[in-house]
Amino acid sequence: MNYQQLINEVYSEVQSLQLEGIVANYIPELSNVDIHKFGISLVTTHGEVYCIGDTQEKFSLQSISKPFTLAMVFASEGEALWKRLGVEPSGNPFNSLAQLEYENGIPRNPFINAGALVITDILRSKTNTPVEDILLFIKKLTNTDNISINQKIALSEMAHSNRNKALAHLMKSFGNINSSIDELIETYCYQCAIEMACTELAQAFLLFANHGHNRLNGDQLLTISQTKRINAIMQTCGFYDEAGEFAYTVGLPGKSGVGGGIAAVLPGEFSVVVWSPGLNSKGNSAKGMKALELLTTKLGHSVF
Ligand code: GLN
């Protein structure tokens, strides 16, 4: 397969469709991004890199940070982790409070905000330097030191985090959060404000295409079984109330973020990242969804 030709075709077809979407503005600082940015990077498990468009420009990971924190915590806790959260799709928006009340403060899965907050809470209980540890984990996967946090975005989210605080308070009332709420939200906002370019992120996401193995330094970070399970959760829960649509039209495990990125993997073959900041009504990149649909359709290959 000529992957360069594939992503070139996808890129120009998506551009011709004039999909716009809306840049996230509930975190004010995110709305300063140019909506016309668009890039696609694909990295194979053999280390070949293909890119087109704005693939070297950093953007905010937001919820794409969640598979990395899950990987860190799953590697250390193993299956015991699932006492505090589930692995079921929520069918609800990422920041919904409704289910959490009648499910006794146990989040449905690690990719809705409530579940990601539990994962960050566990991580915080293991280390005094959670943010540095997350950055180090990602840097080792990309073999670069040039990955950092956008302070303005982190502070902007912290100043507009009533809903995430509400989720954390509700879970704490059920005994499912140990950190202080302010410290937990701070760590969470910093992890979401990590910035990476498409190619760097595709490189890091290769962990999930490569059976939990960091091909850059040989480290086995997750077992094969843990990697399969994280991919299963990405497949069923990675796109919130659009997870079914993504499975139906794209057919790859993946994770979206309100920074406009989508990272996905074809296990054993490649990881692919699309970035376009215009979001659809579910908070997923409008062009990103279409690009990945075209990619697997043209490829004639998905996990199904
Ligand atoms: N930091 C964002 C939030 O908590 C992440 C949401 C997302 O990317 N879907 O609202």
| pLDDT tens digits for range 109-149 | 999 999 999 999 999 999 999 999 999 999 999 999 999 99
Nearest ligand 1 atom to the CA of 157 is 1
Rounded Cα distance between 29 and 259, Å, is: 10
Under DSSP, is residue 94 helix (H, G, I), strand (E, B) or coil?
coil
Give which of 243, 236, 288 is closest to 261, Cα–Cα. 288
Tokens (6 digits) for 218: 């040989």
User: For ligand 1, is residue 94 a contact (CB within 6 Å)?
Assistant: yes
Number of other residues whose CB lies within 10 A of the CB of residue 269: 18
- For the chain, give the mean pLDDT: 97
User: For ligand 1, is residue 185 a contact (CB within 6 Å)?
Assistant: no
CB-count exposure of residue 279 (10 Å: 0-12, 13-18, 19+): buried
Protein residue with least CA distance to atom 4, ligand 1: 113
Asked if the model's pLDDT at residue 56 lies above 90, the reply is yes
pLDDT tier for residue 153 given thresholds of 50, 70 and 90: very high
pLDDT of residue 128: 97
Query: Could you tell me where the DSSP H helices lie in the chain?
Result: 3-16, 66-77, 98-102, 113-126, 130-142, 151-158, 162-173, 181-192, 198-209, 224-237, 243-249, 286-299
What value does the mean pLDDT take over residues 259-288?
97
pLDDT of residue 154: 98
Rounded Cα distance between 87 and 89, Å, is: 7
The residue behind tokens 């994770």 is 255
pLDDT tier for residue 1 given thresholds of 50, 70 and 90: confident
Amino acid letter for position 277: P
pLDDT of residue 141: 97
Q: Please state which of the four CATH numbers 3.40.710.10, 3.40.50.720, 3.90.1150.10, 3.40.50.2300 is assigned to the domain occupying 3-299.
A: 3.40.710.10
Protein residue with least CA distance to atom 2, ligand 1: 62
Percent of the chain topping pLDDT 70: 100
What value does the mean pLDDT take over residues 253-257?
98
pTM (two decimals) = 0.97
Asked if the model's pLDDT at residue 18 lies above 90, the reply is no
User: For ligand 1, is residue 192 a contact (CB within 6 Å)?
Assistant: yes
Dist. CA 218 → ligand 1 center (Å):
32
What value does the mean pLDDT take over residues 4-18?
97
Tokens (6 digits) for 115: 């579940």
Nearest ligand 1 atom to the CA of 257 is 8
Protein residue with least CA distance to atom 6, ligand 1: 63
Asked if the model's pLDDT at residue 105 lies above 90, the reply is yes
pLDDT tier for residue 20 given thresholds of 50, 70 and 90: confident
pLDDT of residue 293: 98
Min mean pLDDT across 61-65, 87-91, 206-210 is at 87-91
